[in-house]
Amino acid sequence: MGGSRETRAVIGTRRLKEAMDRPTNLRIITVANQKGGVGKTTTTVNLAAALSMGGLRILVIDLDPQGNASTAFGSERRENPGIYEVLLGEKTMAECVQRVKGFPSLECIYSNTALAQAEIELVPMVAREMRLKEAIEEFIAVRAAESFDYIFIDCPPSLGLLTINALTAAKEMLVPIQCEYYALEGLSQLLKIFELVKKRLNPELKLSTFVLTMFDGRTRLANDVADEIRKHYPDELIDIPIPRAVRVSEAPGFNQTVMTYDASSPGAIAYMLVARELAKRAKAFDSNVVSINYKREGEIA
């Protein structure tokens, strides 16, 4: 039985019976946290996969030189042109974008090994913080007829130029919080960068979403971390903790998300519920009257 699972390839297309809410406007969400291993990539690929299964049109941009999102989406050719060439202006996104197998409408701009140099090569460039934003805008214009509902940007574990490009290009920041020791340490650093980008480069940017990852409800610590986030970010937290689950961690080893690897496992179900909730909350961004970040905006400025 185990053997058959391990050799199973992704065949056909996954689609949910009940479609998810479609946002009126494109949502561009940067998944950021400068700590490594907190679940940025896992959250990015599984939310993207789930929303795609819910009938929405999704683009994922893998902005981490480690390319873990690319791996989870089945990309193995890491020397192909990808996001590195886009940032340097050598290729357009339209030339690099690829469809992800097994999903109705999921595309990815893959990361490649060369991206590791980008952080340094971008430094002397003109408008170096705006390069991803400009590339996305150009791509959206090219694809006008076949537009996206969501663009997710998966960040590297640092607060360098790549992450700053991602925050400058986005409308929202999603922060995965691993319910572990020191989870909240470093959050203030991330928020400082967020505020700087918002002030200087991207006034539209909102801290819209927190997701609790690798949650082990049996431990006091995990519950304490969750309570802390509930207290400080009651509106931004999607209070559906993603359990620490073995299927979630196995999936990338088979070039898959957990949505195709084991869709009925607890981790997959939790990510599906979080995706549905994220989609529901799009309404808050569609309306000019109520914005879930309104009351906090004054504090941040």
Residues that bind Mg ion in the complex, under the rule CB under 5 A: 40-41, 64, 68
Under the binding rule (CB under 6 A), the answer on residue 29 touching ligand ADP is no
Which listed residue (86, 174, 245, 259) binds ligand ADP by CB under 6 A? 245
Shortest approach of Mg ion to residue 67 CB, angstroms?
A: 9
The tokens describing 139, both together, are 């791509």
Q: Does 214 bind ligand ADP (CB under 6 A)?
A: yes
Stretch that binds ligand ADP, among 122-130, 191-199, 229-237, 248-256 (CB under 6 A): 248-256
Q: Which residue has the tokens 């599984």?
A: 46
Q: What token pair was written down for 87?
A: 């940032």
If binding is defined by CB under 6 A, does position 38 make contact with ligand ADP? yes
Of 44 and 105, which CB lies nearer to Mg ion in the complex structure? Answer: 44
Q: Which residues of 261-294 are buried (b: 16+ CB within 10 A; e: fewer)?
A: bbbebbbbbbbbebbbbbbebbeebeeeeeebbe
Q: Which partner in ligand ADP, Mg ion, none is near 65 (CB below 5 to 8 A by kind)?
A: none
Strand residues in 119-203 grouped as ranges (E)? 150-154, 172-178
Choose from ligand ADP, Mg ion, none: what does 249 bind? Cβ within 5-8 Å by kind.
Answer: ligand ADP
State how far the Cα of 249 lies from the Cα of 242, in Å rounded to an integer. Answer: 12
- C-alpha distances in Å from residue 170, one per residue of 160, 164, 202, 259: 16, 10, 8, 25
- Positions in the binding site for ligand ADP (CB under 6 A): 36-42, 68, 157, 213-214, 242, 244-245, 248-249, 252, 267
